[in-house]
Amino acid sequence: MQYGGRKIELVQWSTPDQQNVHLKPSDIGVAHLAITVTNIEEALKYFAEQPDVKVRELSPLGFFYITTSWGMEIQIME
């Protein structure tokens, strides 16, 4: 994933016996990544155009969450 000249590699592990269970954000073992951007509206538009990315609405507090196709939560904040 590239945004604003920065690159972030997101890795999805896969094994034949892998369980496909999406945990709640409050469950033990859940990962949360936060990324700071300089223009939240531009970032919202960018991520909304990406395939297989679920984008939630912008919070009045100036952030939003995206969920990857494998269920990782990423917080985008200004």
State the pTM of this model.
0.69
Task: Domain 30-78: give its CATH code.
Answer: 3.30.720
Q: Which tokens sit at 1?
A: 């994933």
- The reported pLDDT for the residue numbered 43 is 95
In the block, residue with structure tokens 């990324």: 35
Q: Is the pLDDT of residue 59 over 80?
A: yes
**What is the separation, in whole angstroms, between the first and last Cα of the chain?**
18
Q: Which tokens sit at 25?
A: 């954000």
Q: What is the pLDDT of residues 2-57, one digit of tens each?
A: 767 888 777 777 788 877 676 676 777 777 789 999 999 999 999 999 999 999 99
Entry field: residues in the chain: 78
| Sequence spans of domains, the chain | 30-78
Q: What is the pLDDT of residues 61-74, one digit of tens each?
A: 999 999 888 778 89
CA distance 66 to 72: 8
